Structure 1
Amino acid sequence: MTDNPHIRASDDERNRVIAALSEAFAQGRIDYAELDERTEQVWRCRYREELITPLEDLFPDPTVVLDTAVPAVIPHRAVSPASTQVTGESGGSEMSLSMMGGNEKSGDWLCAPRHTSLTVMGGNYLDLRSARLTSRETEIVAVAVMGGIEIVVPEDVRVVSSGLGIMGGFGITTGKRVTTRMNDLPADAPVIRVSGVGLMGSVTVVRKPRKAT
């Protein structure tokens, strides 16, 4: 009988590897881009042996991670139901537009994997705290021309901003009641990527606690 090294990986083993990667990120041993890439790699792994690769430069013997139980406490995993916010539904809102007026999306709404928000001499407001996300990674392209766009995200979601302010502003702020640092979020937390431009206007991403239910 021939030995078969291709043993299927379990979700428990994937979670152990992700917990180890999250700890390495918290220690500054890998950066966010590496964490993001390796986490995606883990979820694509079908076989146990494939889970070793993301850990090879972090542990002398990466197989130890697979045989060690996930720590009882993972920082801030229970802060809020971020994972349940990703529903995997199809469709969703792809555009919010205003010209010399306003456009608001809040409460229970479905956000597409890529949403473009554009305002010209107006104001847009996107509140993602109760929104349903179709994907673990959501891209929002925000363009404010002589106007303003405010995007509110829950504190248990990771935010990546790569926008530009031209005679205007583009950035992330954290509300006073936020208690969770992004560095403390689990590796599998949903990701909101915000890009675009504030041209004589402003795009502001605000991290806030989820609304009480």
Structure 2
Amino acid sequence: MTIEGSPQGAAPDLPGGSQMRASDAERERIAEVLRDAVAEGRLDMEEFEERLDAAYKARTHAQLEPLIRDLPAPGAVPGAAAPGAVVAPAPLPADATGLAARDGWAERIGGTPTSKWAVAVMGGFGRKGTWTAPRAFTAFALMGGGEIDLREARFEGREIVIRCFAFMGGIEVIVPPDLETHVSGIGIMGGFDHRGSADGDPTGPRVTITGLAIFGGVNVQRKFRKEDQKRLKTERRREKQARRDELRAERRERRAELEGRRAERRARGHDLGH
């Protein structure tokens, strides 16, 4: 991903504390700006997911600031103050983070686990929807496949460990963008995808995904919740329709203007003929 004004893979040397360590609250504020941008159609989904992943992995202000440099961000951007200025963190909402209030992590922690293990032998399994993930969940796939979707899940506790073992098979784990996730599995003649590792909302659960893949694979993906996807698609459709209506109105105005000019020329010709 390349951000305008910042070479790919290099953090800009910014004044005003650009190398200061970023806090979880600052990462969340950047993530919120990115969510607003994709909802407004300023970013497509692919670019949004790249920037969001970079925001949750950022360690300094210099890594955060380029992610929203080309976006209209409300308030000050961490690390973007003038030379010599004192950078003060923006005030947090009363509940410490607006995202926590919106997503309701507190309401999703606690309860009896739906299941503590899943097995697929030359077949498949799925854990998705509003199931309750246990503190320790074990998934095993032998010449088969499975899906573990945590986007709508509840959690038995704040610390969740998912152990995935894939032998000549595959397991996919799907997490929402704001869920803290750490991947530490090993792939032998197979693959264990660590790209899903990222910090998340500090008020939510912490999920550790570990295990082993031999001649198989474990894939960890960060995806929007279904209602968020529907909302973004609806907003994009509305924006496209509004733009189409605007273009139609402009074309009607141009046609009316051309007709007016033609009528004026005809009137002038008629006057000259007399």
Shorter chain as denominator, the TM-score bin is 0.5 to 0.7
Whether 1:138 aligns to 2:153 is: no
Whether 1:171 aligns to 2:193 is: yes
Q: Out of 184, 192, 196, which is 2:207 matched to?
A: 192
TM-superposition CA deviations, 1:117-136 (whole Å, max 9, x none): 00101001111111111111
Q: Out of 83, 92, 97, which is 1:72 matched to?
A: 92
TM-superposition CA deviations, 1:139-165 (whole Å, max 9, x none): 000000000000111111011000000
Whether 1:157 aligns to 2:195 is: no
CA distance in 1, matches of 2:146, 2:114: 18
Show structure 1 runs of 4+ deviating over 6 A.
none
Listed as ranges, the gaps of 5+ residues in structure 1 are 1-19, 30-68, 175-180
CA distance in 2, matches of 1:24, 1:127: 27
* Residue matched to 1:129: 151
* Residue matched to 1:38: none
Give matches, 1:82-161, under 5 Å: 83-84=105-106, 86-161=108-183
1:188 is displaced (CA, Å) by: 2.7
Aligned to 1:92, the other structure's residue is in SS state coil
1:194 is displaced (CA, Å) by: 0.2
Identity percentage over the alignment? 33
* Residue matched to 1:205: 220
CA distance in 2, matches of 1:71, 1:186: 17
**TM-score normalised by L of structure 1:** 0.60
1:173 is displaced (CA, Å) by: 4.2
- Read off the aligned partner of 1:203 and give its amino acid letter: V
TM-superposition CA deviations, 1:24-65 (whole Å, max 9, x none): 996559xxxxxxxxxxxxxxxxxxxxxxxxxxxxxxxxxxxx
Q: Which one has the bigger strand percentage?
A: 1
* Residue matched to 2:235: none
The 1:195–1:120 alpha-carbon spacing in structure 2 relative to 1, beyond 3 Å, is same
CA distance in 1, matches of 2:202, 2:148: 25
RMSD: 3.3
- Read off the aligned partner of 2:152 and give its amino acid letter: S
* Residue matched to 1:56: none
Aligned to 1:71, the other structure's residue is in SS state coil
- Read off the aligned partner of 1:22 and give its amino acid letter: D
**TM-score normalised by L of structure 2:** 0.47
**In 2, are the aligned partners of 1:92 and 1:134 still within 8 Å (CA)?**
no
1:104 is displaced (CA, Å) by: 0.9
- Read off the aligned partner of 2:175 and give its amino acid letter: V
Which structure carries more relative contact order (alpha carbon 8 Å, separation 6+)?
1
The 1:158–1:115 alpha-carbon spacing in structure 2 relative to 1, beyond 3 Å, is same
